């Protein structure tokens, strides 16, 4: 255990001492948050300035005071449900112009004598903008509609709620098991986070193993440490670094959403039960051990980093398959294909999560999937540990998919 700890500690310190890695993990997210913070402050300043120009003394709701001239005699009174003091009546247009120049009002309406026949009115606003200035046109609309109805509260209420529609189905409604659009976010987000952390840590494992092979460090390590201890220490150390990266990126993403005002809209569309959350954590741990060990095996058998990187598809193809088929698997979460992939160890961390989000999964299937995943992870770790010894003999030979799978199955 002491040797595993030393290897774990060495991998963490070595990785965190690289400036390029520190920039990717910490620098890039901090820079992104800083940029969005500056943008949010600029937008906030613009909105506050706009609010000050729109807002009149004594007003706290942001509405501007506007005037109107009613040549048609339609408006007899301002309705009770309209904001008080927002619309001011003037006898003629010249009075409106004078008060507009002095800043008493920000704009004014002119209702012609033939308004009841034409429905046309004039809106005078020196700072007119379709996206801002028309934001309070509902005040005049509400005032005119109420006066057209004689300011009768009952008539106004019926006018604004013209239908109270009640639907009565002629046949029983069958509840669909197809998930809503919001439920797609959870499996997609979890799968992407899983892939992000996995690929980052796995690439570090590939780099570490191939560099130690190239520099003949592996032979020195094997003289004092068992292959299983080397593999376990590397997986744990680089796994911790990968989790740090994932957590920091997730925090940066949430901060950006908060600056944009969308943090409260982040919803995964599923019930956060203890069972599902526990399953996610445990399956991620076993899944990481499984895939990281397979990546370490690639590094052990590849003569250089270039061939190891090119051969990563031999390991990550199940993940690509899950992401490609997710549009089919989620609507058919209880089909035979989805059930098989949710139990198969290489695809269960993602597909089983998709099925749990939809619901209706028998309790024994997630338990069986975890058992198979843990069993596969143990077998792969032991097999890859043997490949570390074999790598001394295979060093310099080109990477081969057939040789890799045979060694992974203990036949090489």
Per residue in 273-305, pLDDT (tens digit) is 677 777 877 887 888 888 888 887 887 777 777
Length of the chain: 412
**pLDDT for position 127:** 73
**Domain shared by 250 and 205, yes or no:** yes
CATH number of the domain that residue 81 is part of: 3.40.190.10
Q: Do 276 and 364 have their domain in common?
A: yes
Per-residue pLDDT band at 206 (split at 50, 70, 90) = confident
The residues pairing with 123 across neighbouring beta strands, listed in sequence order, are 109
Q: Annotate 376-405 with DSSP letters as a single string.
A: HHHHHHHHHHHHHHHHHHHTTSPP-HHHHH
Whole-model pTM above 0.75?
no
- In 188-256, the DSSP E strands lie at none
Mean residue pLDDT across the chain: 76
Query: CA quadruple 61, 63, 68, 72: dihedral positive or negative?
Result: negative
Q: pLDDT for 124-160, tens place per residue?
A: 888 765 544 456 788 888 888 888 888 888 888 787 7
Q: Which residues pair with 68 in a beta bridge?
A: 89, 109
The domain boundary, picked from 110, 137, 152, lies at: 152
Domains identified in the chain, total number: 2
Is the same domain home to 224 and 301? yes
* 262, containing H or E segment: none
Q: Buried (b) or exposed (e) across 158-171, using 16+ Cβ within 10 A?
A: eeeeeeeeeeeeee
Quick check: is 210 in a domain? yes
Angle at 222 between CA 218 and CA 228, to 5 degrees: 100
Residue 26 lies in a domain: no
Instruction: Note whether 95 and 190 are same-domain residues.
Output: no
Q: In terms of C-beta distances under 8 Å and separation of at least 24 residues, what long-range contacts does 59-64 make, across chains too?
A: 59/85, 63/136, 63/139, 64/105, 64/106, 64/107, 64/136
CA–CA gap between residue 191 and residue 355 (Å, rounded): 13
Q: Which of 105, 135, 152 is the last residue of a domain?
A: 152
Q: Is residue 137 part of a domain?
A: yes
70 and 213 in a common domain: no
Tokens describing residue 148:
């057209």
- Which pLDDT score is estimated for 44? 63
Tokens of 248: 């920091």
Q: Do 192 and 115 fall within a single domain? A: no
Average pLDDT, integer, range 194-216: 73
| Domain boundary, last residue among 100, 135, 152 | 152
Residue 169 lies in a domain: no
- Taking residues 22-32, what's their average pLDDT? 80
pLDDT of the residue at 179: 44
- Domain of 137, in residue numbers: 66-152
Task: Identify whether residues 341 and 256 lie together within a single domain.
Answer: yes
- Both 216 and 148 in one domain: the answer is no
Q: Do residues 76 and 195 share a domain?
A: no
Q: Do 189 and 134 share a domain, yes or no?
A: no
Instruction: Label residue 390 by pLDDT band (50, 70, 90).
Output: low
My answer on whether 96 and 210 are in the same domain is no
Q: What is the mean pLDDT of residues 89-95?
A: 91
Domain-located, residue 173: no
**Residue 13 domain flag:** no
């Amino acid at each position: 255990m002491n040797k595993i700890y030393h290897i774990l500690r060495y991998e963490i310190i070595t990785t965190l001492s690289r400036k390029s890695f520190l920039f990717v993990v910490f620098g890039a997210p901090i820079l992104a948050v800083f940029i969005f913070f500056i943008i949010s402050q600029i937008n906030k300043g613009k909105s506050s300035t706009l609010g000050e120009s729109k807002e009149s003394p004594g007003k706290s709701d942001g509405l501007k005071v506007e005037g109107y001239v009613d040549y048609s005699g339609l408006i007899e009174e301002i309705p009770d449900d309209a904001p008080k003091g927002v619309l001011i009546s003037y006898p003629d247009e010249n009075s409106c112009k004078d008060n507009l120049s002095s800043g008493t009002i920000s704009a004014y309406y002119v209702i012609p004598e033939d308004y009841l026949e034409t429905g046309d009115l004039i809106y005078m606003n020196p700072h007119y903008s379709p996206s801002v200035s028309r934001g309070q046109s509902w005040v005049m609309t509400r005032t005119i509609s109420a006066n057209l109805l004689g300011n009768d509260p009952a008539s106004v209420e019926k006018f604004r709620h013209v239908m109270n529609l009640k639907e009565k189905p002629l046949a029983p409604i069958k509840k669909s098991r197809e998930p809503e659009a919001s439920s797609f976010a959870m499996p997609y987000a979890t799968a992407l986070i899983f892939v992000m952390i996995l690929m980052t840590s796995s690439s570090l494992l590939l780099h570490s193993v191939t560099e130690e092979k190239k520099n003949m460090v592996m032979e020195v390590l094997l003289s004092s440490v068992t292959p299983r201890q080397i593999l376990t220490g590397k997986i744990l150390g680089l796994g911790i670094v990968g989790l740090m990266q994932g957590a920091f990126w997730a925090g940066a993403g949430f901060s950006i959403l908060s600056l944009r005002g969308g943090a409260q809209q982040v919803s995964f569309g599923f019930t956060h039960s203890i069972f599902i959350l526990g399953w996610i954590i445990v399956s991620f741990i076993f899944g990481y051990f499984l895939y990281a060990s397979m990546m370490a095996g690639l590094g052990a058998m590849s003569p250089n980093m270039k061939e190891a990187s090119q051969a990563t598809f031999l390991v990550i193809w199940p993940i690509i398959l899950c992401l490609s088929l997710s549009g089919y698997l989620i609507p058919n979460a209880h089909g035979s294909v989805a059930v098989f992939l949710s139990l198969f160890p290489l695809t269960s961390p993602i597909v089983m999560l998709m099925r749990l989000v939809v619901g209706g999964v028998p309790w024994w299937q997630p338990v069986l999937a975890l058992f198979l995943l843990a069993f596969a992870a143990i077998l792969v770790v032991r097999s890859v540990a043997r490949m570390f010894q074999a790598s001394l003999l295979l060093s310099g030979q080109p990477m081969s998919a057939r040789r890799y799978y045979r060694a992974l199955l203990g036949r090489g």
